[in-house]
Structure 1
Amino acid sequence: MRIVVCDDEPLARERLVRIVQESGHQVVAQATTGAEAIVAVKTQQPDIILLDIRMPEMDGVRCAQELAKLEHPPAIIFVTAYDHYAIAALKANAIGYLLKPANKDELLEALAKAKNLNAAQLNEIRKLEDPMARPVREHIAARTHRGVELIKLKDIYYFTADQKYVKVRHKDGIVLIDETLKELEQEFEDRLFRVHRNAIINLSFLDFLETLDAGQYQIRFKGIDETLAVSRRHLPALREKIQSM
């Protein structure tokens, strides 16, 4: 893949260049500011840009927002020393977020993920249009120890409120996201369904509604043994939904 490396710290930039080249990819340009990165992307048309955040003149988040306006923007992977920019990175449509000094294996994993994203997915991630005009997402972004991961909505069993975060149970495990159940329910109203004030489920994995003692009910899922309680308040609507499926 063709890659641009942008970092104002020479040693950090050289380390990224070395890892990229040793892994068989091509570094087509290097930049020290966001403005230089934009020029490099326009002239070199890279597949990916490795982008620092804290830089003079134009920071990485602003640079990413400008790059997203291009007709053919590169996939963006942030590599930064600061962990509190993750949400800003997500809003800037980054597909990866790594902390310095970037672990070689994590960087190569992020590059592989970028390569495997098809054109339709990348186009969806990069859009910075009015949120009301955006197409429905097919992925949920979660910040983990490996950076920012994209979880396919079709692989998610359910979402539950977990203090100030939302827990996402998917085919490969559990992650936490900084979104609300209400926002998710509204955005994916045709695919997710609320069964409790603290839980919404992916209807694709709904197996059946099970009756317990004392008039209690719970959901059973296809593919996993876990269950979720159904509140009395949401029971009638869920029964109606099941009958219409």
Structure 2
Amino acid sequence: MHVLIVDDEPLARRRLAKMVETIEDCELVGEADNGNHAIEQVNACDPDIVFMDVRMPEKDGLEAAREISLMPDPPAVIFCTAYDEYALEAFETLASGYLLKPVKEEQLIAAIEKARKITRAQKKASTESDVEESADELKQRQHISAKTRRGIELVPIENVLCFVADHKYVTVIHHEGETLVDDTLKDLEAEFADKFVRIHRNSLVSIAHIEAMERSSAGQFEIRLKQSEYRPVVSRRHVSGVRELLSRL
């Protein structure tokens, strides 16, 4: 389980980080000191679990958790705070846990295990739902349509290299360039589940255009695409799934 710690107090982050590092199958992938930074780190690090303080400068933990809950494939959020009066608001953000400081090791382990079970159940339910919807309701398009200054542009699905989400917009990267579309990444993933694979919270890549998954000089895994210099990054969370897919191709 990849973990992100969000707290405006460096000592609190350091204490929790030391505890996380002693827990089997848990890896600290990032830290943040306020809600805005937390959202940036969720997109950058793609964690499974976010340990979130409530009272922080700029954007507090509750507001950040609400935004995170609206993301595609959101991580589990566990609040760690010195105040018990925010529990009701915390669970309204769909948080999976609420721990009071100072956090005890057994409480931390129990919260992580609960989040692990919830995450697995959600992924299973989401996958089953997407498969049923794709089979029963969705008719797969042969083109992606987009409104441009020239009118309606049709991009053949076979020419699409990947879909990349950035806040409210999705960019289609294809052989002729880049195009913004109104579709959500979640809907595109459901419709084209047999043709595209999720490699990051914000990215779907065409399976047919994948040549290899390689480690960059910076230590990140990237996808090498056919006839393209573009190298989309594979998040740590999705490396094993992509590796399994490539082994079957």
**Normalised by the size of structure 2, how large is the TM-score?**
0.48
Higher relative contact order (CA 8 A, sep 6+): 2
Higher-Rg member (1/2) = 1
